[in-house]
Amino acid sequence: MQGRGKICLVFFLKEYIVEVETVMEPGEINYVQLIVEEGSISDAAKRLNISQPALSARIKKIEESYGIRIFQKNRRFAVLTGEGRAYLDYTQKAANLERNFRRLLSDSQDLKSGEIRIGGTHLYTQCFLPQIVREFHEKYPGVSIRVINEKIPELTSMAAKGELDLFISSPGKKSQGIIYEPLTQTRLYFCVPREDAVNERLKDYAVDVSQFRDPDLDKKSVDLREFADEAFILLDEQQHMGRVMRGVLKRCGVEPKNVIHTDQAMTAYAMTDAGAGICLMFDRTIEQAWMKRHPYFYTTSDPELKGNLYVAWPEQTFLPAAAREFIRTMKEKFKWKGDTEVNALEGSL
């Protein structure tokens, strides 16, 4: 049957192994995965725009084909059985293999065609990608580019499932199964509204944008206790900059009394520009930001303020030629000269 691929599923049931074969259409919906994502059969049916009995019948047909039970009975929410988890795991792996194989067959080394799926937070896609995307698209107009905005945990999950080719990642915790390639060295700065009186008192410690690459910046380290009475704009604790800001302030003995919370770094920076409070921001973002005037910037010698920005991609997934070329374009743009520049990328060629 042309256009169909065989998947071999192995289930470990008690003391024996059952091996079954199924035939799936490329691109066929994984109904079990959708139900797990939505939390219930009824919610999944609504998303598919079909009736709940119709979706239940499809699940029952799968169960009867393999002689297994996929979901636990008498549960308000969809909970997988052991066999159900095995089924979902293998169908996801099979779908990734199918997708990677088809992309391998259609991969164009001359880059006259192809597709790249790039992920990043709103901060990274707004500040780092626009010019790179423009230059890449001008050079390779036949390559389709899709940009997805999500938080780092969601991007990591999407990459692991083969839904992204690559994504830009912060210097935070790394996940297994993902390759992290240094893209550029970066530093975080405390950004203080221009109108704040504290700037006059600390003017000798303020860092100009032209000094961001100065190797002796630690000599301009400011005592953050000078800002103890100022308003701070904090990101969520699960976000890299949110964790870093809280950690640095705590180590300096500063507990913010006046706090504004947001989950978007660019919103925090815009609030600082409007005079609402002090935020934390990457040097690369500051250089790319659209503000006509800058806040005042301060730094400390805290090592957590310094690190690398990474381009990341799933370890076990085929990396298309277009994606490899896009990574090279990014690294050339940022002029990263790290020791691992070739090794990790060449391993995916």
Residue with tokens 């909970």: 79
CA distances to 26, 198, 207, 322 from 103, rounded to whole Å, are 12, 56, 47, 11
Residue with tokens 């520009």: 273
What digits encode the pLDDT tens for the residues 331-346? 888 764 443 433 444 4
Q: CA-to-CA distance for 158 and 137, rounded, in angstroms? A: 24
Task: Delimit the CATH 1.10.10.10 region(s) of the chain.
Answer: 5-106
Token pair for residue 244?
Answer: 């870093």
Per CATH, domain 5-106 is 1.10.10.10: yes
What digits encode the pLDDT tens for the residues 107-145? 555 677 778 899 998 888 888 888 899 999 999 998 889
Q: Which CATH topology does 185-306 take?
A: D-Maltodextrin-Binding Protein; domain 2 (3.40.190)
Q: Which segments of the chain have a pLDDT < 50? A: 1-28, 336-349
Q: What is the per-residue pLDDT for 24?
A: 44
Task: Delimit the CATH 3.40.190.10 region(s) of the chain.
Answer: 115-181+311-346, 185-306
Q: Which CATH topology does 115-181+311-346 take?
A: D-Maltodextrin-Binding Protein; domain 2 (3.40.190)
Report the half-sphere exposure of 179 (CA within 13 A, side-chain side): 21
Q: CA-to-CA distance for 255 and 50, rounded, in angstroms? A: 53
Q: CA-to-CA distance for 10 and 24, rounded, in angstroms? A: 16
